[in-house]
Amino acid sequence: MDKLLMHSPDLTERNIDKIAQLFPTVITEGRDDDGNPTNAIDFDLLRQELSAHVIEGPQERYQLDWPGKREALFAANTPIAKTLRPVPEGSVGFDTTRNLFIEGDNLEALKLLQESYLGKVKLIYIDPPYNTGNDFIYADTFARTRDEELKRSGQVSDDGVAMVSNSSANGRFHSDWLSMIYPRLKLARNLLSDDGVLVVSIDENEHSNLVALGTEVLGRDAYVGEIVLKNSSKNDQGYISMQHEYIVFFVKNKSANVGAWVERKEGLEQIYAAFDGFRKTHGDDWIAINKAAKEWFKRFPPSDPISASKHYTWMDLKGVYFPDNISGPNDGQYVYELLHPQTGKPCKMPSTGWRYPEVNMRERVAQGRVHFGPDHTTVPNNKTYLANTETQSLTSIRYVDGRAASKRLQTLFGEKVFTNPKDEYLLRDIYKAVGVSGEDLVLDMFAGSGAALHAVLELNLTTGSQCRFIGIQIAEDLNVSLKTAKGTARKVTTNAIKLLNELGKPATVAEIGKQRLRLIAAQFQNKAPLLDAGFRALKVDTTNMEDVLRVPDALSQDELELFTDSIKPERTGEDLLFQVLLDWGLELTMPIEVEIVDGKEVFVVENGALSACFDDEVTPALVREIARREPLRAVFRDSGFATDADRINAEQVFAEVSPATDVKAI
């Protein structure tokens, strides 16, 4: 039952609604005095609507603007006191893999990766929340305390990152989404290599904003096109039923990435197999083969990739072809008689003449590369062979049955645990088309079920490449999602929770992605044992350093020893090592060996790129032995030196034995 308002109507809000009906372009998004989302009037635009001449106002420029943009930029630039902690027990091949899966807020993870992966990522794929009005988006507000953020959002993930429902009734519906994605794109750009590509899946709700924002962040020429992906047959919307989504492409630098993007046509194997069958049935009766091919192609609807090659209906001893244009590009290009091989009479000539000089044409005829009609009354054609045209430019329209990817994922897990996963085969083909190869690095900062990461492994399997991936996914609590889920989504979420509980894993979206990778790694162990299908699991966490909550004057003499060690007691040497890797800008998949030197644990990273000892007692013998090995970098625990003299002596040892080593303490 609705309740009475028990107060007078809000006339301001009513007036804004009336103005919106008359002048919809003057309505913008904002917040009221209490910080609540609301509609507002752009008075400069309203004055212009009511004026017969140009009104003076703020300087205009072409840009995408929204309430909260400055705060979003601040969020991108604000430093954080966090680190990435290794989770060996949740990894596959922790010691040998070159892949990463990071659990935590992707904005924080991107900040932590800035030094180690600056300019090293060939392709970034993101599948962000689509802003349908039901999705949850990240609330990036570092200025608030944790309690304030919990009060504001009413919901928080396992790792303390607030997520809020972005209802379409929200007065900042688009602004909140833009504020979420903007700082992430800013940080992602830094990680892209000069020839890097950003690929974004999006639907119609934020498509235009994404294109505008992408060109602002990556540059005016960054947007290079999109694939319209038909993946639905629903017919349940008003006005126009949306049966597609978009895959939008940006490049960081057009001069470094010239866009020579090609893909192999789909359905070629089926076409070749069909013509092999026609040949077995009809022998060298090319006309009969042509008739059979035409009938065969009729089976395929326009949505089937095979239909795009339906003009290849002829065959000869060299293979499958279609009769292509042989006329000259200019009127009267080459004019001469070309005799029909059967009638011996001059063939009908194209209106603009022949494409080739006479001597070249006769060579082509001798080589069987000209298709003649039944007699001389028809114009001959070039033979364009399918074997010579197997690749094409990346095309802008795709038909993908979304049920196929869902079915494969269901088969992998044994039951349906994720709704609407992306198609790993489509992503694999996109990677290949845009030039991801060799040891290139792919990053997905909204990893979800792990489809984009799985696609990297499929690319390696089919091409023999050794590409690597970094996946980032927040530990979104499935139990929280279950409270609002309905219908199929509720059933799928329940399945996922049950499965992860049986495995002894946390019921989170991040764990679904990791479990998928574990299952794929087990499959690849049989069919491609030399392929790196593992991943090194990491987790965004608070810094390893103790929080300093007192100023020196607040400490008494007898308390000083309690605060001499600046490292949290529960943190391991491996935890410290990964924070050092981040601080030094080293890749987080470098091989790590643990050695015992003078009774102390020493981490040796990539054969001496870094040697680290975080023991509580650093001995002179240990220091000298590490120096003798001449690592590029060496790091010790500051409190591991008994006195300042010991620390100074250690520096002197390195200056004498290994002067090129960069020595630091934490």
Look at 8 and 286; give whichever has higher pLDDT. Answer: 286
| Weakest-pLDDT range from 202-211, 466-475, 478-487, 619-628 | 478-487
Q: What is the pLDDT of residue 6?
A: 39
Residues in the chain: 666
| Weakest-pLDDT range from 159-173, 214-228, 238-252, 605-619 | 159-173
Residue 76 resides in a domain: no
Q: What is the pLDDT of residue 412?
A: 96
Q: SS3 for 148?
A: helix
Residues 234 and 279 in one domain: no
Look at 235 and 257; give whichever has higher pLDDT. Answer: 257
Cβ-contact 475, 157 below 8 angstroms: yes
Cβ-contact 544, 578 below 8 angstroms: no
Number of domains forming the structure of the chain: 4
**What's the predicted TM-score (pTM) here?**
0.82
DSSP 95-134: TT---EEEES-HHHHHHHHTTTTTT-EEEEEE-----SSS
Question: What mean pLDDT is predicted for residues 77-95?
Answer: 94
Residue at which a domain ends, from 512, 540, 568: 540
Residues 563 and 533 in one domain: no
| pLDDT tens sequence across 555-565 | 454 444 444 56
Residue 38 pLDDT more than 90? no
Residues 215 and 303 in one domain: no
Which structural domain, as residue segments, surrounds residue 646? Answer: 552-665
Residues 117 and 257 in one domain: yes
Residue 442 resides in a domain: yes
Distance CA(397)–CA(304), nearest Å, equals: 12
Residue 49 pLDDT more than 80? no
Residues 275 and 253 in one domain: no
Residue 391 resides in a domain: no
Query: What is the DSSP code (8-state) at residue 264?
Result: E
Residue 509 resides in a domain: yes
Residue 203 pLDDT more than 80? yes
Residues 187 and 224 in one domain: yes
**For residue 646, which phi and psi values (nearest 5 degrees)?**
-65, -40
Question: What mean pLDDT is predicted for residues 191-196?
Answer: 96
Residue 80 resides in a domain: no
Q: What is the dihedral of CA 599, 602, 606, 611, to 10 degrees?
A: -120
Burial of residue 83 (number of CB atoms within 10 Å: 0-12, 13-18, 19+): buried
Q: What is the pLDDT of residue 4?
A: 40
Residues 223 and 106 in one domain: yes
| pLDDT tens sequence across 321-332 | 999 999 988 776
Residue at which a domain ends, from 385, 409, 444: 385
Residues 403 and 527 in one domain: yes
| Weakest-pLDDT range from 6-15, 99-108, 282-291 | 6-15
Residues 272 and 251 in one domain: no
Percent of the chain with pLDDT over 90: 66
Residues 361 and 423 in one domain: no
Residue 401 resides in a domain: yes
Q: What is the pLDDT of residue 168?
A: 52
Question: What mean pLDDT is predicted for residues 537-554?
Answer: 74
The pLDDT-based confidence of 591 (bands split at 50, 70, 90) is very high
Residue at which a domain ends, from 365, 385, 405: 385
What helix, strand, coil percent values describe the chain, rounded to 5?
A: 40, 20, 40
Q: What is the pLDDT of residue 147?
A: 43
Residue 2 resides in a domain: no
What residues contact residue 390 under an 8 Å CB cut-off, 6+ apart?
Answer: 264, 265, 268
| Weakest-pLDDT range from 68-77, 143-152, 632-641 | 143-152
Question: What mean pLDDT is predicted for residues 514-539?
Answer: 95
Residues 379 and 274 in one domain: yes
Of 328, 498, 294, 330, the closest CA to residue 413 belongs to 498
Distance CA(475)–CA(215), nearest Å, equals: 30
Q: How are beta strands 163-165 and 136-138 bridged, if at all?
A: antiparallel
CATH classification of the domain holding 114: 3.40.50.150
Q: What is the pLDDT of residue 379?
A: 96
Q: What is the pLDDT of residue 165?
A: 55
Helices 207-218 and 173-191, axial angle in degrees (round to 10): 40
| pLDDT tens sequence across 90-147 | 999 999 999 999 999 999 999 999 999 999 999 999 999 887 655 555 665 543 443 4
Percent of the chain with pLDDT over 70: 86
Residue 5 resides in a domain: no
What residues contact residue 312 under an 8 Å CB cut-off, 6+ apart?
Answer: 271, 293, 320, 321, 322, 386
Residues 237 and 299 in one domain: no
